Amino acid sequence: MLESITPARARSELAKRELRRRNARRHLRHFVRESWHVTNPGVRFEDAWYVDVVADHVQSQIEGWASARADASFEQPIKDLLINIPPRCSKSTIVSVCATAWAWLDHPEMRIGCLSVNPRVSFRDALAVRALISSEWYQGWFSPDWTLRDDQNAVSNFANTAGGSRVARGFDSNVVGEGFDWILVDDPHDPRDSEGQIQAVLDGWDVALSSRVNDPRCSIRTGIMQAIAEKDFSSHVLGQGWAWLCLQMENAPDALTKDFPIAVAIDGKSTRRDPRPRGECLHPARFPPAVLDQRKLELGPYGYAAQYQQRPAPLEGGMIKRDWFKRFTLVDVTKDGKLDFDWVTITVDPTGNAVEDGDQVGLLVVGGKGPRRFVLEDASRRMTFLETCATIRALLVTYPSCRKVLVEKSVVGPAIVEQLRKEVSQGALRIVVIEELTTHMLGTKSQRALAMVPALAAGMVHLLDGAPWIAAFVGEHALFPNGRHDDRVDALAQLLAHYAPIEDPQSRWRLLGS
């Protein structure tokens, strides 16, 4: 016999439902949970702490926009926000779908522009938002005093009668003439994108998309993605001052380059760091160890590090491991007050651009003692042609035992060689061998770097302990080939090849000198 529902129980159930409704309207985190049966029909909601973290940050953005719009003196807590999060963690449901529908509950006038590298993703989420707003649940729980407009109700571009709109675009779409209160960027890159494709996205963002805001004083921008390279949309906008929420699949605190610049709410407490113990999974129920092991096998170390750990390369290094580089002190290599090496050489990987461009130049001073190589100085940085020549002159003064300068034959290389040889012949520079190398003829950058692996793995390359450039030097090698720069890698590769033992097959590289 069915249990009868008493008036008291009915009132209790209504009160609970009303509390849930109020919470869903007040908090995006509750809205995500309550609407799950609409946004993901037939799929069980698997709760996780990061859902609240992501939702709270985006809610802070939306509420900050509304407050700043009403009061110009209001200081928005989060204006521009980058969220790095692994795939299959419901990022699009939380942000692209739920957050945009939730924003219209109290701010139906908000105009939202949603961008993705894949137009199908933008349209998919737009369809989901429109279905959510039109659902019996949304209409019954919140009874909005506006409706979707009949004359602007396409999948990619729909609006409401209160003045708000939601426009979905591919990242290469033309948005001239359009303006938004909230620009939402969901996956601006495909993990398979080449360096050129990544740069095209960054150029498109800077030139055409980033400024498409209605009011630069209060409009908000959100990016949500996985990191795929050191120079991608993530690093680009972080360099422009965006706030950062970085969620790794397996917590590795040493992998974060800085603390979160904003506090996140965890169980009512404020923290600036990921609260998990080291190594703990972001969502253990969905990603048990067996699943992660399979992902690592399928994606390889670089793919897993980028998509799941938000790093362009594994923390320990990819092709080149961090701990392969040994350390030395000047005491170790000094005898009778002088550097005790078989030779000291400057190795230069010039910029590949026009002579006047201030691009990064790889420039190292290395000493050799038997089979071991000692990096004495890393002077790599952005330099013009004249600055490169001046730096080489200064290093020749600092290291009087240096007798050779190796210069890669690139666009700028021959000009550097010609200038230095001219100065030697005129007596303006002490006598030193200026040798031009054509190492680029021996293969790609990756192939040349791979040739270094045996020597590096054997611990044959040593770095000056305590030098201020060690972090940049090791970091560039560990990130290769996904890093922003590879000039130090090229400079070291050509030096190791040039001084390869005669019996070493790689000694054929020495034949490519001038």
Helix (H, G, I), strand (E, B) or coil at 506: helix
* Percent of the chain surpassing pLDDT 90: 46
- HEC-encoded secondary structure of 297-339: HHHHHHHHHHHHHCCCCCCCECCCEHHHCEEECHHHHEECCEE
**Which two structure tokens, joined as six digits, stand for 163?**
């003045």
Nearest alpha-carbon partner for 222 in 114, 68, 90, 85: 114
The two three-digit tokens of residue 350, written as one number: 């010039």
pTM: 0.66
For position 358, what pLDDT does the model report?
47
Q: Is the peptide bond before 288 cis (omega within 30 degrees of 0)?
A: no
In the chain, residues under CATH classification 3.30.420.320 are 322-512
**pLDDT at residue 65 tops 60:** yes
For residue 281, the SS3 value is strand
pLDDT of residue 513: 44
Residue 354: pLDDT band (50, 70, 90) is very low
Q: Dihedrals φ, ψ of 408, to 5°?
A: -70, 135
Q: Which residues, in sequence order, are bridge partners of residue 160?
A: 148
Confidence of residue 337 (pLDDT cuts 50, 70, 90): confident
Half-sphere exposure of 237 (CA within 13 A, CB side): 26
Closest CA to 404 of 415, 414, 395: 395
Higher pLDDT, 210 or 153: 210
Task: List, in order, residues 6 or more apart from 475 with CB less than 8 Å away.
Answer: 483
* Amino acid in position 440: H
Residue owning tokens 């691009």: 359
pLDDT-derived band at 318 (thresholds 50, 70, 90) equals: low
- From first CA to last CA, the distance across the chain in angstroms is 98
Residue 502 has pLDDT above 90, yes or no: no
Reported as a pLDDT band with limits 50, 70 and 90, residue 348 is: very high
188-to-27, 166, 380 alpha-carbon distances in Å: 27, 18, 31
CB-based burial of residue 504 (10 Å sphere; 0-12 exposed, 13-18 middle, 19+ buried)?
middle
Out of 228-237, 440-449, 480-489, pick the least confident.
440-449
What is the pLDDT at residue 462?
95
Average of per-residue pLDDT values in the chain: 84
Q: Which of 197-201, 295-299, 388-392 has the highest mean pLDDT?
A: 388-392
Q: Are strands 343-349 and 338-339 parallel, antiparallel or unpaired?
A: unpaired
Region of poorest pLDDT, from 86-90, 115-119, 250-254, 422-426: 250-254
Helix 413-425 with 385-398: angle, nearest 10 deg: 50
Phi and psi, residue 437, nearest 5°: -115, 150
Cβ(483)–Cβ(313) below 8 Å: yes
Instruction: Identify the pLDDT of residue 391.
Output: 94
Which of 254-258, 284-288, 414-418 is predicted with the least confidence, judged by mean pLDDT?
Answer: 254-258
> Strand, helix or coil at 114?
strand
CA dist 146 and 108 (Å) reads 8
Domain with CATH 3.40.50.300 in the chain: 16-309
Q: Please, are residues 119 and 91 in contact by the beta-carbon 8 Å criterion?
A: no
Residue-level pLDDT at 254: 52
Q: Which of 65-69, 197-201, 434-438 has the highest mean pLDDT?
A: 65-69
Between CA 459 and CA 467, with CA 463 as vertex, the angle to 5 degrees is: 155
**DSSP bridge partners of 281:** 250
- pLDDT of 264 reads 45
- Pick among 3.40.50.2300, 3.40.50.300, 3.40.1160.10, 3.30.360.10: CATH of 16-309: 3.40.50.300
pLDDT band at 28, cuts 50/70/90?
very high
**CB-based contact 125:186 (threshold 8 Å):** yes
Output 256 or 209, whichever has higher pLDDT: 209
pLDDT at residue 446 greater than cutoff 80? no
Structure tokens at 348: 């230069």
> What pLDDT is stored for residue 255 in this prediction?
40
CATH tag for 322-512 (out of 3.40.50.2300, 3.40.50.10540, 3.30.420.320, 3.40.1790.10): 3.30.420.320
Nearest Cα neighbor of 406 from 273, 258, 510, 251 is 510
Tell me what pLDDT residue 461 has. 93
State both tokens at 118.
């894949």
Q: In Å, how far are 98, 221, 231, 355, 473 from 236, measured between CA atoms?
A: 27, 14, 7, 25, 21
* 359 pLDDT above the threshold of 70: no
Confidence of residue 352 (pLDDT cuts 50, 70, 90): low
Instruction: Assess contact for 35 and 24: CB atoms under 8 A.
Output: yes
Across 1-15, 317-331, 353-367, 413-427, the highest mean pLDDT is recorded for 413-427
Residue 100: the pLDDT is: 95
Among the ranges given (352-361, 371-380, 476-485), the one the predictor scored with the smallest mean pLDDT: 352-361
Spell out a b/e string for 172-191, using b for 16 or more CB atoms within 10 Å of the CB, else e: ebebeebebbbbbbbbbbee
CB contact at 8 A, 509 and 347: no
Greater confidence, 254 or 62?
Answer: 62
CB 225 within 8 A of CB 40: no
Q: What digits encode the pLDDT tens for the residues 132-179? A: 999 999 999 999 999 999 887 777 789 999 999 999 887 776 666 688
Structure-token pair, residue 89: 């963690």
The DSSP bridge pattern shows strands 165-170 and 111-116 to be parallel
Distances (CA, A) of 153 to 92, 96, 129, 220, 479: 21, 18, 12, 24, 46
Asked if residue 401 has pLDDT above 90, the reply is: yes
pLDDT at site 197: 83
Comparing 27-41, 88-102, 270-284, 328-342, the range with the smallest average pLDDT is 270-284
**Residue type for 146, please?**
W
DSSP state of 4: P
Mean pLDDT calculated for residue range 109-122? 87
Between helix 487-498 and helix 470-479 the angle, nearest 10°, is 90
Range in 148-162, 347-361, 431-445 the model is least confident about: 347-361
pLDDT of residue 120: 79
Q: How far apart are CA 214 and CA 52, in angstroms?
A: 29
